[in-house]
């Protein structure tokens, strides 16, 4: 049994759930339409170019969680999943997960997107565990701040190593599937890195390192 680790956005699903959640908040008039949409799009471009300041982004992305009641957020999230996420779940993503499940591997999603947005998606994909960026909470709900290390770039390795300390697993024989060059630190760490519908930078690196390249969309 090995660890089969998966990025989420644009890997197991055909889109970016973090950005889509921001778009959904705009559609639902939860945030200022013009200002929020412009910032949400800019942060996505920064991520794609490898220039994202994760803490600036999280200040932006977690603020609506603090400004709304938890019960309202949960209702919004359920609608978001049904309208925006369910249509972009990938049949081949389920097949890939099932292949590893049949081998007896432990299925782990590790994503920079926060847990509030991603936990329903992880449940739908029926993975064994989820490592996500953690929004800080208090007795009344979310604070708008991040708790601990965001699982982004090298932070994925830090969070994974911390997770391994309390788990009967190791990185021996581990797989990691991702679409993004932002995940190169973890891809370079595991024994079986796999590029899934990769961005241009990851495709070039994968070709040079002779990593497998696959598609879950075609």
Residues assigned a catalytic role: 7, 9
Give the Cα separation of 111 and 9 in Å (integer).
Answer: 8
Cα separation, 23 vs 36, whole angstroms: 9
Burial label, 123 (beta-carbon count in 10 A; 0-12, 13-18, 19+)? exposed
Sign of the dihedral defined by the CA atoms of residues 73, 78, 84, 85, in that order: positive
The answer to whether residues 131 and 165 touch, using CB atoms and an 8 Å cutoff, is no
What is the 8-class DSSP label of residue 181? G
Q: What order of strands is seen across the sheet that includes strand 141-147?
A: 141-147, 129-138, 106-114, 3-6, 175-178, 192-196, 213-214
């Amino acid at each position: 049994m090995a660890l089969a680790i998966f990025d989420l956005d644009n890997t197991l699903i055909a889109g970016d759930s973090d950005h889509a959640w921001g778009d959904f908040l705009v559609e639902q008039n939860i945030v200022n339409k013009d200002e929020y949409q412009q910032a949400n799009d800019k942060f996505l471009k920064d991520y794609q170019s490898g220039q994202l300041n994760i803490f600036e982004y999280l200040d932006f992305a977690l603020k609506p969680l603090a400004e709304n009641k938890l019960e309202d957020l949960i209702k919004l999230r359920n609608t978001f999943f049904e309208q925006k996420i369910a249509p972009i779940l990938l049949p081949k993503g389920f097949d890939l997960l099932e292949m590893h499940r049949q081998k007896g591997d432990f299925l782990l999603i590790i994503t920079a997107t926060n847990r509030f947005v991603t936990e329903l998606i992880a449940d739908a994909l029926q993975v064994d565990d989820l490592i996500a960026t953690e929004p800080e909470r208090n007795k009344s709900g979310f604070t708008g701040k991040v708790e601990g290390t965001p699982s982004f770039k090298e932070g994925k390795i830090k969070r994974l190593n911390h997770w391994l300390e309390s788990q009967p697993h190791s990185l021996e024989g581990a797989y990691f599937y991702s679409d993004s060059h932002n995940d190169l630190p973890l891809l370079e760490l595991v024994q079986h890195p796999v590029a899934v519908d990769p961005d241009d930078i990851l495709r070039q690196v994968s070709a040079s390192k002779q990593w497998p390249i696959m598609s879950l969309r075609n």
